[in-house]
Amino acid sequence: MPTQLQKTFWFVLRFFEQGSEPYNYKPLHRTILLVVGVLFTLLCLASLYLSAGNDNYGFLIPVSVFFAVGFVCLVVGLLGSDRAVAKIWGQNKNPNS
């Protein structure tokens, strides 16, 4: 099942999983990434709920941004490799240098 989902969301994962440089991965990074993804998704849903009755459609900009950030965080956190998680945190440098 994860392999099929990885193939489905290749357009998100390919950017974060490419490269051959050393990286510094910690399991806590994945946990924090998942929590941030859930928080941004909840923020998206709350913004959508609170402003859906409005005739002005300007509320769709923050809703779209919150959804995109939450979606990328959840996809990388759930389906991404250790390299992808390290790259999203900017930890793609050698820890010994």
Dump the DSSP string for 25-58: --HHHHHHHHHHHHHHHHHHHHHHHHHTT-S-GG
Tens-place pLDDT, residues 46-74: 999 998 788 888 888 999 999 999 999 99
pLDDT of amino acid 95: 54
What residues of the chain score a pLDDT lower than 70? 1, 92-97
**pTM (global) more than 0.75:** yes
Domain that holds residue 70: 34-91
Could you give the number of structural domains in the chain?
Answer: 1
- Residue 7 falls inside a structural domain: no
- Residue 53 falls inside a structural domain: yes
Q: For residues 60 and 38, give the distance between their C-alpha atoms in angstroms, rounded to a whole number.
A: 19
Amino acid identity for residue 23 in this structure: Y
pLDDT of amino acid 74: 96
Rg of the chain taking only CA atoms, in angstroms: 16
Largest CA distance in the chain: 55
